[in-house]
Structure formats: C-alpha cells, structure tokens
Amino acid sequence: MMSFEYNGVEIEDTFAEGFAMWGTRIIITAKNRKWANIAAAEMTGFATSVIACDCEAAVEREIPPEETPDGRPGVAVMMFGFSKKRLSAPMLNRIGQCVLTCPTTAIFNGIPEEEADDMLDVGASLRFFGDGYQVKMRMGDGWQESQRYWRIPVMEGEFLAEAKFGAKKAVAGGNFLIMGVDEDSTLEASERSIEAIHTVPGVITPFPGGLCRSGSKVGSKYAFLKASTNTPFCPTIKTSFPESQVPEGANCVIEVVLNGLDEPSVMKAMAVGIRAATEVPGVKRITAVNFGGKLGKFNLGLKEALEDA
Amino acid sequence: MVVHSDVVCPFCGCLCDDLEVTVEGDEIVGVKNACAISRSKFMNHGENRLQEPAIDGKKASLEKAIEEAAGILADAKRPLVYGLSSTDCGAIGRAVELAEVLGGVVDNTSSVCHGPTILALQQVGESKTTLGEVKNRADLVVFWGSNPTESHLRHLIRYSAMPKGMYVPEGRKGRYIVAVDVRTTRMERVADEFVKVDQGGDFELLLVLRAAVRGVKIKAESVSGVPRETIMELVRRMKGAKMGIIFFGLGLTQSDGRHMNIDAAVGLVTELNHHTKFLLTPMRGHYNVAGANSVTTWQTGYPYAVDFARGYPRYNPGEYTSVDLLAKEEADAAIVIASDPAATFPAEAVRHLAKIPVVTLDQKVTPTTMLSRVAIPVATAGVEAEGTAYRMDGVALRLSKVVEPEDGLLSDEAVLEAIIERVRALKGEVG
Amino acid sequence: MMGDLIVKGGYVYDPLNGVKGDKMDVFLSGGKVVEEVKGRDAKTVDASGKVVMAGGVDIHSHIAGSKINIGRLLRPEDHRKDVVPRTRYTRSGVGYSCPSTFVTGYRYAQMGYTSVMEAAMPPLGARHVHEELNDIPIIDKAGFTLLGNNHFTLKYVKEGDMEGLKAFVAWMLWATRGYAVKIVNPGGVENWKWGRNVGGLDDLVYNYEVSPRQIVTSLARANEELGLPHTIHLHCNNLGVPGNYETTIETLEAVKGIKAAEGREANVHIVHAQFNALDGENWMNVKSGASKLAKYVNANENVTLDLGQVIFTDTTTMTGDGPWQFRLHNMTGNKWVNSDVEMEAGAGVVPYTFKKDNPANAIQWAIGLELALLVYDPWRVYMTTDHPNGGPMIYYPKVISWLMSRKARTDTMLELNKSVMRRTTLANIYREYDFNELATVTRAATAKALGMDHKGHLGTGADADVSVYDIDPSTWRPSMYKELEKAFAKAAYTIKGGEVVVKDGEVVATPLGATHWVKSEVPEALETELMKDLEADFRDYYTINLANYPVEDAYLPTGRPMTAEGRWR
Amino acid sequence: MKELWLTPTALPSIPVEAEVICPDVVAGRTLKDVSSLEVYVGNKTHILGEFFEVEGELAEQASEQMIVVDGTCQTVKYIGAKMTAGSVHVKGCAGMHAGSQMSGGEMLVEGNTRDWAGAEMSGGLLRIQDDSRNMTGGAYRGSPEGMTGGCIVVEGDAGVELGSFMRRGMIVVKGDVAPFCGVHMNGGEIFIMGQAARRLGAEAKGNGGFIACLGGVDEILPTYVHETTYKPTFMKLYMRQLRDVLGLEEAARFLETPFRRYVGDLAVGGNCEILVAEK
C-alpha cells in the first residue's frame, strides 16, 4: 500500500469508510454544570456502536451558560441512528429515562430548522408522560421564528423539553488507527487526538473516551457472530495471523472512531486528530479501516483530509 | 263612553296586555288592571305636552320644523339618531332608514342599559324563554340585580312569582324565590331567600357558582361576602330545580364588570343545563327596547351602535355608541326620538349635546327638548297611535290607539318619514 | 301600472308544461303569464342564447323571525366579512350566513328566486315573522307554523280528538297567517322544556303521555283532511344522530297509509333530509344512509324531501330543535342560544363550520348529493341548503354545479377527507342533472309540492315570475361547471310580477312581494268549541290574552290567502 | 427601507378613518397617488393630502416601505391596520384600531393609542411607547378569536380586556393593566410588569396560555387555585426574550425569581396559568 509521511509519521494513503446515518444534536441544560454533565453522561451511556447498541451517541461539547437558550450550563449531545425512526426511538427512550429523570434539566434542539434535513417530533410522544397535565408552550408566533416546547410536570418541578429536534443526514464511521511502539505512547497519542477532535463542531467520538481498542471486522469464523476482533491489527498475533497489518516495531494499535453531521466536519476532525497523534513520539504509523468501499458511500481519504486541513 | 279591553301597556318591558281603558270623548277616564305607573301614563298622557313644533324655542309650523330638521341633519357629517326604545317598531325602522340615508349613526337606549347583555350574548350566547314558560314551569326563580317591585310592578304577579301555572298549580307556594343584590330592597320581603353580595362582587360570585355546579370544591370561606354554605346551598337548589330561571337587571349590567357579569351568568345557566333546565332573561326597562334591538338587527344585522358612514352598517359599541360619540365630541348633529338623553346621559356627553344642533321628537317637554334646535311634538305610541312593540322576552304585541291625537299631531313614524323625504330631496336623491 | 313584457328568444325550461329547452318567447301582462301581448308598447327582454325558467321557489329556508334574528344578533363577526352598501335602488345591510332582511330579498332575487318559504314560525312569534317578511323586498314569502310541540296539538292528540285538532290547525294557520304545518322533533321540543329529549318514535312526551308517532300521524291526517295545499313539513326526531336514517324511515312508514289530500300523492315532506340520513353508531364511524333512504323514497310515492345540502364554510345553525342545538353546542364548544316559546315551541342557534378535512362533514356533504341523485324522480327531491344550516343560500349556484356536473363533484371530493370515498356511494354515481331536472328541483316541483299552482311554471295564468340565466344550454357541457355557477349566481334578468327587478345580476327595482297564507274554514260548531278551549287555556297558561294573539291584518299589507277545502265529519 | 413622511396638518375633530396609512397600500404608488388616497371623515370622503403633508420616498414592495407619521394623530383611526409587511412609525399618538388585524411588519407608536390597538392581530410587532386603552390585542364583537399571533409591547399602562379571546402571540405591558386582562384567553402569553388589576384570566380556557404578573396583582379570582411556588425554567426563556429581543432590560430581574402558579378558570374547566412573581 502507498503511504506518505506527515509530521514524521507514516500515513497510509487509504481511506476510512464512512456510511450514512441520521444525526441530531440535543442541548441539555441544568441548574449547574454538575447536573448537566450527569444527564449527558447517562444519556450517552451504552451508545458506542450500532452493532449492539440502539444508537451511537456522545457528548459533543459543554456549552457555557451564555450560549444556552435558558442561560444555564449546558451540554451538547449528539446521537446517530440508521434512519429517522431508528434515531427518534432511542432519543425518546434516552431523553425519557436519562434526562427527564435527572433533576433540574431541560432539553433544547441543537440543530435549527433551516439547517436540518428534517425535524423529529419527539415531543409528540414525550408529552404523554405528563398524563394530560402537560402544557404546550409556544413562543414567537407570528413575529419571530415559531418555537414549541412541552412543559411536563414532574415531582421536582417541571421538565421543559423542546418539541422538535433537527436531524441531518450525517456521516458515521470516520476512523483512523494509531499504531505505536508501546501502550504509553499510543494511548497518549490517542488521547491527544480525541482532545483535538473535540475542537471540531458537529463531531462526536462515541466509543469510551473516544477510543476503540478492539477494533472490529465484519463476520467471524463463528457463524453466529456478526463481528469479531480486528485480527489484522492485533499485535499479539502479529506473526500467527497470516495477513497481519501491524508494522514492524508497533506493539499497540488504538482506533479513533468518529461520527459527524457532515462529511467536511468528519474530514476535518480526522485531520486534526491525526495531526495531534503525530506529535507524540513513538507513533509509527497511522491508517484507516475500510471495506473496499462496499459498505459505506463515503470514502474519507486520509491524504485528502490532511491536505484540506 | 268606550271601553277598550286587552290594551297593551306602553310603559315597561312587561308589556302587560290586559288593560281596560275607558274613554269618554277624547279623554281617558279610567284604566283597569294597570300598575300605578301605567295608570299614570294613560291618565296623564295629556299633561306637560310639547305644545307645538318649535325652532330655537320659537313656534313654527310642522312643515318648517321638518324642513329645518332635515336641513340640519343633511348638512351634518356625523349625525346621530338616538332614542327609539319608547316608540313603536314602525318608527324604529324609519329611524334606521334615516340614519342610512344620512350616513350617520343609529343607536338606541340599550346603549346605556342592556347593551352589556347583548355584548355578552355575542360572546357566549344565552338561554332564554318567553315569560309563559316561567309561569308554567319554574320552581326556582332568581332575581339578580333587579328589583321588579319598583321597576316592573306586575312582573311578579303576572309572570314570575305569583301566577298559578300548568306545572306550578300552587302559584307562589310552588316556587322558591331568591333575590341577589348589593343592598336590601323590597325584594327581601318577596323572596324566600335574600343573598346580599358585596358591591362589585357579582362576577366572582357567578363564577364560583358555575365552578361549584361543575363539581369544583370551593375552598374560600366566602366569596364576595357570601358564605360558602350559602353558595353550596344555592347550587344544590339550582341543580335540583325542575326548571329554574334568572332574571337580571341593571344591577348586573351596569355595575362593575358590566357585560362580563352577564357573560358569567350565561355561563352559569349553560352549565346548569347539563343537570336540569335553566334559563335567564334580562329585565328590559323601556317598553320597546327589545323592539329597537330587534328591528335594528333585522334591518342591519346589528342591534344598536350602528354606523352607516361608509354606506353599509358597521357595529362597534364603545365607538359608535351615543355616549362615546358625544363625549368624544364626534357627533355634529343629533336627532332624538322618544328619549331624554339630556336627563340621563353623563355630563360630558350632555355638554356636547348642548353644543350641537339637536332635533327632538317627543310628546312631552323634557330637558332634551329644551336644549333642542328643533322640537316636534308627536302622538304617543300605544295611546294615540298604533304600532308594534316587543316585550322583554321578544314577544311582539300590537299597541292600540285608544284616543285620537290632537289635530295635526303625527306619529313618530310619520314625522320621520317626512324628514327622510326632505333629506333625500336635499341630497338630490329624489326620483 | 306595469307595462307588458316579452321575454324573447330564450331556451325555455318549463317542466310542468313539458317545455324542455325550446326556443320560445314568454309573454307577461298584468302580473301574469299570458298567451300573447298585444300592442306595441310591450318591452322586450332579450333572452337569446340564455336559459329561461320560472322564478325559483325555495321550499325551506330561514329568512325571518326570532330565530334568524337571534342568529343575526349573535354573529357580528359573521356580518363584517360580507357587507352590502346601499345603492340608488337598494338598502344597505349585511350578508353571509344571517343576512339582514333587505339583503335576503336582494340576494334571492339576484339568483333568480322569486318565492321563498320561511320554514319555522312559532305561533307566538308570528307577528315578529310577518314584520320581518314585510321588510324582505321583491320575493314572495310564506311562513310555516310550528305545531308539532304545541300544547293544544298534544292535548288533542292525547284525547284522540281529530276534529278538535283539525279545527285548531285551521285556526292556527289563520291566527298566524301561516301557510303550512311545520313539525320539528315532535315531542322532543316539549321534553326539552324539562331539559330532556325523545330518543325515538315511541318515547313519550312528559305529562301528555303521547308519542312522536302519534303526533306525526295525527297532524298528517289533520293536514290531509283539511286539504291544505302542502303536506306536513317534517323535521324528524333524532336529527344529527348517527343511525337516524332508521328513525326517518320508521317515521315515513308510520304516515304511509294516510290518505293524501285531493290532487296530490304526497302526504309528508321530510326537510333537510341530509341531517336525517346518517348511518353508523356514532360520529366516529358515521356513514351515509342516503342510499337506504333513497331506496325507500323511490318505492313510496307519498314522500317528498329536500336536501339541506352541506357547504364547506362557516355558517350559523338554527333550528326549532332545542335539544339538538344544545348537543351541537357541547360538541363544538361554540356559543349557544336557546330560546323557548311558551306552550308551543323553542329554538336554538349555534355557529358551525363545515370543514373539508372533517370526516363527518365530508360524509354529510356527500349525503345531500347522494339523495339528490339516487332519488330518481326529481319531482320529489328539492334543492335546499336549509339556509343557513347546511350553508348560506348564496351557495345555491355551487349546489347546482354539483348536481349538474360529476366533474364538479369529483373536483370537490378530491379536496375532502377520504372518508367520503369509503363511507358514501357518491363516487360511483354518474348521474348528472340536465336543465330540465334542475328547473324541476328548484321551482316546478317545489311549487307543486307547496300547492302553489301559479308558481314554478310559465303556463298561461302563472305569476309573471321569470328568471333568465346567461348560459347557453346548446353548447354547455358538464365540464364547464364554473360558468354554470357564475350564471346562476347572478341572473341576467329576474322578473317579479311582470317587473324587471334584477338586470345583469344587479337589483334595479324593489317591489314588495306577497305573503301567502292558507285560509281554512272551520265549521261553526267546532269553532265555538275550540274557542272555549282556547280561552280557558290562554287564561290559565299563556302570558298574553287570546284577543292579542292572532296576527292583525295590519301585518299583511300584501297578504295573499289561499283557501283550503277541508273534509269535516 | 424607503421612508414616506406624513405630517398631519389640520385634523378635524371628527375622526379620520385612514386605513390607507399602511405600507401595503402606499407601496408601488407615486407621492401624488398617495396624497389622493381616500380617507373618510364621518359620512364624507376626503383625500389623505387634505390632512397630511406627503413627502419622502416610496418603495415597490410593502416590505421595503416605512411610513413615518410625523405628529400626533389621536383622531386618526386604523393607522397600520391590516398591514402585512414594512414598517409604520407614528411620532405621536394614534387613534382607535391602530395596527388592528396586522399580520406582519412593525409598527411603533411613540405616544399612546386608543381602544382596539392591535385587535385581532395575527403577526408582526406593535410597540406602543405610552399607554394603550381598552381591548388592546382583543377580539372584535362576537369573534371567538382575538389575537392569533404577533407581539404587542405597551410601555405604559393598558385598559380593560387586554388580550380578550387571545389564541396565540404575546403581549407585554410595562405598566399597569386594568381588569379582565386575558378574559376568555385560549392560548398566548401576557406579561404584566406593573400592577395587574383583578379579574385577570376570567373564563380563560388555557390551551397553553398564561398571564405572568411581574409587578403584583390586586386579587386572583376565586376560581383559580394556587398550585405551588417554583422557579419555572420556561420563564427564563421568556425573560431572556423580553430582554434580548424586545430590549426590556427589567426582565432580567426575573430570571431567578420564583413564581406562584395559579390555574383556572375552573368555572369553565380551564387550565390557564397565572404566574405571579414573588417579591
């Protein structure tokens, strides 16, 4: 495989294979940062990969009070699902179980209608939790952009939820693999990578801490298994696995996986992530995972990403 | 000597139709069955009469007076036609036509009495009946802010309290009568129960009654000075009545809250109809104020405060009502028919009335005729002229002529017709 | 004195006289249609290329009296969207669902209608009705006296005193100057005075212990034995209740055997049948019962009906059916007026909007048209909107287009809630009225049903009421329904009593039309008995004296009595 | 925006009905045309130019048109009525029906307005910098729908029946409000920063409607029940809107204020809210 050098690190001239998903952004606010973060953490729990989770979700960023609709500390959470329906169902469940239940929180749409490809009417179902005592709140009718909220009475007070959330045709499956000489340098590079990625709006990294150490490939020798460990990149079987792709001198590989609202954001996030990784000594090579373009419609080339950035 | 029987009384909204009027020559010498006010109206119809047509207080011929009146009105930009509740429907129809020809405003006395009743009706409706239903069925009668012992003297006897009816054969004993008012009136002696409500507190009491009828638990110890126990007892009575009715008067329409008081009363009655039969009826004052509303409505779509300035009727009490037009110094001429605004309107309105040319048609000398540029005496409808009048409940009756008017005295209708004809001529509309 | 008039060269549709679009002249003289006019000073109305018919006769409308006036009073918000300025010839007013009196006359005349029946006159309110009728210019009018819940009716029915009932009906028609016997929700309105209703033909009226069945059959018999020109004019029980087509058919079965008066087959007229032809159990699963009702009507010649066609608009409902109006108020939350009339009747008024996306409304719309198209004999089904209940009468041209053009129906149907396709048969009906049938359902048949021999046709001796519409039937096709609508909205000419009152759609003269009423002599002995009865009950139960009850001659400046010969025992 | 200047010259004592003072009417005309637009005084027809000096520029589209009325016009009715776009600026008082039934655009009245200002409004912004009288944002007689959208800001006091039969939209009053505010209300929001007189929310059905009393209230109807006192999150949204969009700085004071929540009108089975700021 062709490769090129970037910041002294070998980058394979390959591409990450992104695929289409629907993505949304929810802004959770609360009385203080603590409760906003707790709600966000709960809501994005167990949402790493649609292989076995109902959706992919993660915190995009924390939002300072000045920028939230109600002036309280906020967190932007993004969620991705394979269709509008498979996005709104987990949204409803997770908002219902993790945010509605969490003291002092409120939720707001994070993708304005003019930027969205569609609006998901989560409030239409969520409101029923009010058992008839929910109140429809309208703002701006006839003189500003019309906004709709539901006010649902809860024991602690009132849960305020915006009725509709913008959804976009988004890109999931952005990734790159960092291969380092040892665990310390690889982990360090990966963490820096994630930090950098979080500076790019519209992108999340749904795996633990943004990182996936296992990787995965489609299928397995066991017929009942949909996916299994990414054998070509496992250093411990570097020799015994015939087509291993772990380079000489590399003893640890960590995958960075990211989803974004659009292709440019994902590309940009990959670029800043890769660049941050290359700055850590001990990183041997960086590559990306794809399936020959059979799985997803986005070919997110590493070279293009770095060149554009 | 001639005895006219079944004569309709042209005094109050009761329009009692059982009067016996005895006439000798041209004089009424006796009135039977009538209340004191009615008798006095018949017996004294000749007193204090406006003697002859006058312009600026000086005697004039009828033709001259009509000519002058037509001139004043035809020249005006914002003429007001007002009064009409104490004359017959023929005159009312003509008054509407006059206003239309003039491009002016026609308004009647409901503007200052039961106008709020109409505004409420237009908001929420009403549930009403002719008075016979009350006589025949009502076992609960509520008088709210009305005192028939002083304003509608035979109401209690003929319709609402005393009469034996089809399903109330016991008469008074078959009915429970409640009076609600802000001060003790003679109704306290008539009623089985007198509920004293704080001044300006009717609205709250009506709302609470309605809520209680809906089954809402009332927490307040008292509302508008009425203890909770009294309220709950009243609600129990209302829901338990076979047929109940509320008669309301100016105590409700002209007190704090005005049309909203009636709105709330209508709401209470509507609510009660989910449980039993309940109705309400306004106690209209002038004998044909209901007719004034009726005629104006069928001719224009609106009951009072109708503006023809744009060639078609427009309606807006508060804007086209007489008191507002006068107080805002908007009207520049007025014709008053069978009414005495100079005695009854607020001072600021009267002040402007005194400034503008006024034409008045009346039988008697009144403060209004005295400030009028043109005053034209007319025959008394229901005594000296026939016509139609509408009872407070909307029943139309034929007014009779029991004596001939003095020579040359025309009815309101005839004078208005003559004025319309002259105005048309002045505006070049003849032919 | 009016001059003679020749309506020249139009396509004349005069179904009663078998004229089906022949090109011919109509001669008018002395307020009548004549065979020919002599002399040169006859004026000519050029009708060439146009449709000529007798003036329209509306058999069921609400144009005068306390009910419509309550509607007017209640709805200033309705008036302001349709204002009518005064002109050189006409008074100003307001239109839409509760038009003022003057405008009512003008608008009917502008559509080529020259006679309109006020379908509900409470006797105690008759004076009021006549006052308003006298303020409705141009058109001829008549009021139908409400008798189905009258104390005396119930009393005579209870006593089984048919002769007493007949005498009372005859006297009432005189006292109110009424033209026909109107029955509204028999028994239900009396029960409403206790806040109740009747649920079917055999429920009992409180205190009187008589059933709607007895009331209807007795009044129908009395009506026919009195030889009144029109049959009973019946607003059935259970109006607006899904499944009520059964009540309607049951009612028709009940009157079936009653011998009709001489000269006609019919013994009952069902009003605004659309509201009484609902199938299903509730408003959620309501469907059309029109085909079932139509089937019954096709098989039974004693029945006539009018449509009560629904129009999709904001309108004002008003009926003598108090309990129904309360129900409607509770269904809609709209403002509600109830108005009871002692000893006799009642009424209710509620604003209502028929909406295209409302499944029930879409079905109701279809039911009216199904009835019109599935009843084969146009002489027994008449066009009305039950103005303003189904919709304001200004929409008659729209109804005409639906009757005459399947395309017009389809175009409307496509905008409606889909239930109209599934729960009615309208989409499968291909019938389209021709001009002859239209003339039948709008004038010839209605006049005939009313027993007005001088109306609804253009034969010699008929009243000189003629309408001319600017549409050429030789080139018109059903796809051109918009042109049709336009032509019937504004008549090229309307001629009333031989005088041109509308020209090019504008009113040019406003004579006062006649008020028709029926005079039926009562044998003296019976009348004496009746008066004794009336006097006693008036004294005890009414709030006005009997002497002040009958409408005085002064209220009938243009009264036109028709004499009915009764059969007495 | 192009500015058309109308300077009142000699206004008669009888009100002038000038619904032509509206961007939709003047846009696309010439100054001469505008000057000869019909206005009504009593039963007579006049032209605009008789009562106003007409100067300035005219736009093709209403949305590009601003009308400045340079003076006080208490007796001029229907200014800005039924406007759909553009802007009207009255540098004085305006007569009855100012901005009534407007559906878009902005109208500013520097002085006070008479009855029915913004009545049956469905969109746009009407700002009155002094008092407004009765029926502001209300329904005309018989109509079951008053305001259905848009925003009215009254910087002075407001008269009775403010927002009657309101269905949607927003009204903010900086001063005091007379009785029967929000009567028959069925949606929409009303904010009262001064003192609210009694009988507010009478016969209100609710449907998401509420009245927020920030400056105190004389008396709550007995058919409203007190539910709780809390700090509603949603109120923060409105207070920020008042402060940031409408420039009402005082609103910031209520960002952290607890509110007493009342619900009614139980007489009509309603669930309208009255929220009273705790002092």
**How is residue B192 written in tokens?**
């089985």
**How is residue D174 written in tokens?**
């900086």
Query: What are φ and ψ of residue C445, in 5° steps?
Result: -75, -35
Contact C320, C183 (CB under 8 A): no
- pLDDT band at A124, cuts 50/70/90? very high
Interface with chain C: mutation pick from D143, D164, D167, highest number of C CBs within 10 Å:
D143
Q: Is residue C539 part of a domain?
A: no
Q: Is residue C420 part of a domain?
A: no
Same domain as A107, residue A199: no
- pLDDT band at A2, cuts 50/70/90? confident
Of B259, B282, B305, the position where a domain reaches its end is B282
The whole-number average pLDDT for the span A180-187 is 95
Same domain as A227, residue A151: no
Hey, is D197 helix, strand or coil? Answer: coil
Q: Is residue C72 part of a domain?
A: no
Q: What is the CATH number of the domain that holds A110?
A: 3.30.70.520
Hey, is B387 helix, strand or coil? Answer: strand
C464-519 per-position pLDDT tens digit: 999 999 999 999 999 999 999 999 999 999 999 999 999 999 999 999 999 999 99
**How is residue A105 written in tokens?**
């929180």
Hey, is D101 helix, strand or coil? Answer: coil
- Domain coverage including residue C42: 5-53+462-507
- Of A303-307, C379-383, C407-411, C555-559, the one with minimum mean pLDDT is A303-307
List the end-to-end C-alpha distance of chain C, in Å, as a whole number.
Answer: 46
Interface with chain C: mutation pick from D19, D40, D141, highest number of C CBs within 10 Å:
D141
* Res. A309: pLDDT tops 90: no
Q: Check D144 against C74: CB less than 8 A apart.
A: no
**How is residue B368 written in tokens?**
């209004």
Please give the pLDDT value at position A154: 96
Coarse DSSP helix, strand, coil percentages of chain C, rounded to the nearest 5 percent:
40, 25, 40
Please give the pLDDT value at position D275: 97
- Domain coverage including residue A255: 3-18+171-308
Residue corresponding to tokens 């509605």: A100
Q: Is D56 in CB contact (< 8 Å) with chain A?
A: no
How far is D232 from A149, CA to CA, in rounded Å? 13
B15-51 per-position pLDDT tens digit: 999 999 999 988 999 999 999 999 999 999 999 999 9
Of A104, A134, A168, the position where a domain reaches its end is A168
Q: Is residue B361 part of a domain?
A: yes
**What pTM does this model have?**
0.94
* Res. B321: pLDDT tops 70: yes
Of B241, B257, B282, the position where a domain reaches its end is B282
Task: Compute the C-alpha angle B334/B336/B340, nearest 5°.
Answer: 120
How far is B65 from D158, CA to CA, in rounded Å? 47
Hey, is B97 helix, strand or coil? Answer: helix
The whole-number average pLDDT for the span B237-254 is 95
Residue corresponding to tokens 């007995």: D222
How far is C550 from C556, CA to CA, in rounded Å? 12
Q: Is residue C193 part of a domain?
A: no
**Distant-in-sequence, close-in-space partners of B351: CB < 8 Å, separation ≥ 6:** none
C297-339 per-position pLDDT tens digit: 999 999 999 999 999 999 999 999 999 999 999 999 999 999 9
Please give the pLDDT value at position C124: 97
Hey, is D25 helix, strand or coil? Answer: helix
Q: Bridge-partner residues for C32, per DSSP?
A: C29, C463
Contacts of D265 in chain B (CB under 8 A): 207, 211
- pLDDT band at C353, cuts 50/70/90? very high
| Total number of domains constituting chain B | 2
Q: Is residue C45 part of a domain?
A: yes
Contacts of D122 in chain A (CB under 8 A): 142
Q: Is B22 in CB contact (< 8 Å) with chain C?
A: no
Q: Where are chain D's structural domains?
A: 115-277
Contacts of C80 in chain D (CB under 8 A): 140
Same domain as B302, residue B243: no
**How is residue C227 written in tokens?**
């030889």
| Total number of domains constituting chain C | 1
Choose between D122 and A290: higher pLDDT.
D122
Please give the pLDDT value at position C569: 79
How far is B95 from B286, CA to CA, in rounded Å? 17
Same domain as B250, residue B229: yes
User: What does A205-216 look like in DSSP terms, one character per residue?
Assistant: --SGGGEESS--
Q: How far is D223 from chain B (nearest CA, A)?
A: 6
D22-67 per-position pLDDT tens digit: 999 999 999 999 999 999 999 999 999 999 999 999 999 999 999 9
Q: Bridge-partner residues for A301, per DSSP?
A: A15
Single-letter amino acid code for the residue at B45: H
* Res. A295: pLDDT tops 80: no
Q: Bridge-partner residues for D60, per DSSP?
A: none
Residue corresponding to tokens 């089985």: B192
- Domain coverage including residue B333: 50-112+287-386+404-426
The whole-number average pLDDT for the span A146-164 is 95
B273-293 per-position pLDDT tens digit: 999 999 999 999 899 999 999
D165-211 per-position pLDDT tens digit: 999 999 999 999 999 999 999 999 999 999 999 999 999 998 899 99
Same domain as A25, residue A162: yes
Contacts of C343 in chain B (CB under 8 A): 132, 136
How far is A240 from A244, CA to CA, in rounded Å? 8
A9-40 per-position pLDDT tens digit: 999 999 999 999 999 999 999 999 999 999 99
Q: Check B119 against D141: CB less than 8 A apart.
A: yes
Interface with chain B: mutation pick from C544, C546, C549, C555, highest number of B CBs within 10 Å:
C544
How far is B88 from B389, CA to CA, in rounded Å? 6
**How is residue D182 written in tokens?**
């929000």
Please give the pLDDT value at position C568: 87
Task: Using DSSP bridges, classify how beta strands D65-69 and D87-90 pair: parallel, antiparallel or unpaired.
Answer: parallel
Contacts of A70 in chain D (CB under 8 A): 233, 236-237, 240
User: What does C63-125 look like in DSSP terms, one character per residue?
Assistant: -SSHHHHHHHHH-HHHHTTSEE---SS---EE-TTS--HHHHHHHHHHTTEEEEEEEEE-GGG
Q: How far is C352 from chain D (nearest CA, A)?
A: 12
Of B228, B251, B282, the position where a domain reaches its end is B282
Please give the pLDDT value at position B144: 97
Q: What is the CATH number of the domain that holds C43?
A: 2.30.40.10
Same domain as A201, residue A99: no
Furthest-apart CA atoms within chain C: distance in Å: 69
**What is the percent of chain A with per-residue pLDDT over 90, rounded to a whole number?**
82
Contacts of C334 in chain D (CB under 8 A): 144
Task: Using DSSP bridges, classify how beta strands D38-41 and D16-17 pair: parallel, antiparallel or unpaired.
Answer: antiparallel
Q: Which of D234, D240, D245 sits opposite A137 (nearest CB)?
A: D234
Same domain as A181, residue A152: no
Chain D residues in contact with chain B using a Cβ-Cβ cutoff of 8 Å: 13-15, 17, 40-44, 96, 115-116, 134-135, 140-142, 179-180, 183-184, 199, 202-203, 221-223, 225, 265-269
| Total number of domains constituting chain A | 2
Q: Check A142 against D124: CB less than 8 A apart.
A: yes
Same domain as B124, residue B270: yes
Single-letter amino acid code for the residue at A127: R
Q: What is the DSSP letter of B411?
A: P
Please give the pLDDT value at position B421: 97
**Distant-in-sequence, close-in-space partners of B150: CB < 8 Å, separation ≥ 6:** B185, B186
> Count of A–D CB contacts within 8 Å?
79
Choose between C400 and C567: higher pLDDT.
C400
**E-strand spans in B301-422?**
306-307, 314-315, 333-337, 358-362, 374-377, 387-390, 396-399
**How is residue D212 written in tokens?**
């927020």
Same domain as B85, residue B178: no
Please give the pLDDT value at position A293: 76
Q: Check A141 against D168: CB less than 8 A apart.
A: yes
How many other CB atoms sit within 10 Å of the CB of residue B75? Answer: 14
Same domain as A189, residue A129: no
Of A137, A168, A199, the position where a domain reaches its end is A168
- pLDDT band at A297, cuts 50/70/90? confident
Same domain as A137, residue A223: no
Q: Check D199 against B77: CB less than 8 A apart.
A: no
* Res. C157: pLDDT tops 60: yes
Q: What is the DSSP letter of C461?
A: T
Same domain as A156, residue A121: yes
Q: Is residue B267 part of a domain?
A: yes
Q: What is the CATH number of the domain that holds B159?
A: 3.40.228.10
User: What does B36-86 look like in DSSP terms, one character per residue?
Assistant: HHHHHHHHTTTTTB--S-EETTEE--HHHHHHHHHHHHHH-SSEEEEE-TT
**Distant-in-sequence, close-in-space partners of C515: CB < 8 Å, separation ≥ 6:** C130, C133, C134, C140, C141, C142, C143, C177, C556, C558, C559, C560
Q: Is residue C285 part of a domain?
A: no
A216-255 per-position pLDDT tens digit: 888 888 988 888 899 999 999 999 998 899 998 899 999 9
* Res. A291: pLDDT tops 90: no
Q: Is residue B123 part of a domain?
A: yes
Please give the pLDDT value at position A272: 95
How many other CB atoms sit within 10 Å of the CB of residue A242? Answer: 8
Same domain as B227, residue B167: yes
- pLDDT band at C55, cuts 50/70/90? very high
Please give the pLDDT value at position A133: 94
Same domain as B362, residue B313: yes
Q: Is residue C103 part of a domain?
A: no
Query: Do the two chains B and D touch, given a threshold of 8 Å on CB pairs and at least 3 pairs?
Result: yes
Same domain as A190, residue A130: no
Question: Which long-range contacts (C-beta less than 8 Å, at least 24 apart) are formed by B156-160?
Answer: B156/B190, B158/B14, B158/B16, B158/B131, B158/C543, B159/B14, B159/B131, B159/B132, B159/B134, B159/B135, B159/C543, B160/B131, B160/B134, B160/B135, B160/B245, B160/B247
Please give the pLDDT value at position D262: 97
SS3 readout for B98-127: HHHHHCCEEEEHHHHCCHHHHHHHHHHEEE
The whole-number average pLDDT for the span A151-172 is 96
What are the angstrom distances between the C-alpha of C287 and each of C278, C420, D37? 6, 9, 54
Please give the pLDDT value at position B370: 95
Q: Check B121 against C74: CB less than 8 A apart.
A: yes
Contact C61, B280 (CB under 8 A): no
Please give the pLDDT value at position C38: 81
Same domain as B271, residue B149: yes
Residue A99: name the closest of A26, A24, A205 by CA. A26
How far is A17 from C342, CA to CA, in rounded Å? 86
Hey, is C348 helix, strand or coil? Answer: strand
Contacts of C98 in chain D (CB under 8 A): none
Q: Bridge-partner residues for C563, per DSSP?
A: C519
Contacts of C323 in chain B (CB under 8 A): none
* A187 Ramachandran zone, left/alpha/beta (phi>0; psi -120 to 50): alpha
Contacts of D144 in chain C (CB under 8 A): 77, 334-335
**Size of chain A, expressed as the number of residues it contains:** 309
Q: Check D150 against A71: CB less than 8 A apart.
A: no
Q: Which of B123, B166, B299 sits opposite C100 (nearest CB)?
A: B299
How far is B420 from B401, CA to CA, in rounded Å? 25
Q: Is residue B393 part of a domain?
A: no
Mean pLDDT score across all residues of chain C: 96
User: Closest-CA residue in chain B for C335?
Assistant: B124
* Res. A101: pLDDT tops 90: yes
* Res. C35: pLDDT tops 70: yes
- pLDDT band at A50, cuts 50/70/90? confident
